[in-house]
Amino acid sequence: MSLSNFRARKVDFALYGRERYFSHVARTKYFNEIDRCLLIASAILVDPDIGLEVNSKRGREENYITYSEAEFLFNRMGRNSVLIIFQFIPRVKKQRYFSQIGTRLKKMLGSSKVLYISDNQVVFFLLTRDTRTQQQVMNTISDYGVVYRLITGSI
């Protein structure tokens, strides 16, 4: 769907931070400066190079989002928003990996469920604050998963 199609449907599209280089040193400032209006009734896609923090990338922290940064965004977003976190999948058992990440996110965020959709190479974790929004997102990714033969579920 092109940007003009979004506008025709009264959907706004905003990129945050595109005009500057993201660095580990300035990451707190980067996340603190996200205007709250961008987090209300929004699909918030976080697309770091590799996904959530991993121990093997110490020293290259600009390549991932930390769990505490995910928590910060989750706590600031609106009740009708969806936080979507991109993650490359390492060469491990997929369901176990999804469960480990999902459980950690659930515990940290106090979310009732963490939803996911995957093509076996990457996974998107989807987090909501509202059970109605969560059910709508689950229905959408389930339908999409059937059409495109993707793995979907919740933890």
What pLDDT does residue 18 have? 63
What pLDDT does residue 131 have? 93
Q: 11 Cβ partners below 8 Å, 6+ apart?
A: none
What pLDDT does residue 76 have? 96
Q: 26 Cβ partners below 8 Å, 6+ apart?
A: none
pLDDT in tens, the chain (155 residues): 444 554 555 667 677 766 666 666 778 888 888 899 999 999 999 877 667 876 655 665 566 788 999 999 999 999 999 999 999 898 899 999 999 999 999 999 887 899 999 999 999 999 999 999 999 999 999 999 999 999 999 99
Domain ranges for the chain: 15-154
Indicate the pTM of the whole model.
0.85
